[in-house]
Amino acid sequence: MEAVEENISTDAGLLVFRQWDQKLGFMEGFAQQPDDRRGVPDHSLLEMVRNRVFGILAGYEDLNDHDVLRSDAVFKLLANRLPDDDDLASQPTILTI
């Protein structure tokens, strides 16, 4: 029998904060402020802002936590991705914002 990898997360409570932010638009407004000088980015500023802010809300204050969170199903949903989509930005990429 083949092992099945499941997308499991303990941070599903963050989805409520995501809905709240969608109504208020705080993170969208914040992501529009910096000038993005990257050529062809793999990750939008909004996606990286969401990763960082929701990471802090979940108690992941250190940027190095994002090297694991980038594969987390809930964090992908928070960034408008599906759990099976490519990983989110890593710690060195988020550091650029």
The per-residue pLDDT string of the chain (97 residues; one tens digit each, 9 = 90 and over) reads 555 466 667 788 888 888 999 899 988 888 887 777 766 778 888 899 899 999 999 999 888 898 999 999 999 999 989 999 999 998 888 876 6
Q: Residue 22 domain-assigned?
A: yes
Q: Total domain count for the chain? A: 1
Rounded to a whole number of angstroms, the distance between the first and last alpha carbons of the chain is: 44
- Spatial separation of the C-alpha atoms in residues 7 and 82, rounded to whole Å: 10
Write down the pTM of the prediction.
Answer: 0.75
Residue with the two structure tokens 């759990």: 83
User: Cβ of 81: how many Cβ atoms within 10 Å?
Assistant: 15
Q: What are phi and psi of 63, to 5 degrees?
A: -60, -30
Q: What are phi and psi of 13, to 5 degrees?
A: -60, -20
Q: Residue 35 domain-assigned?
A: no
Q: Residue 68 domain-assigned?
A: yes
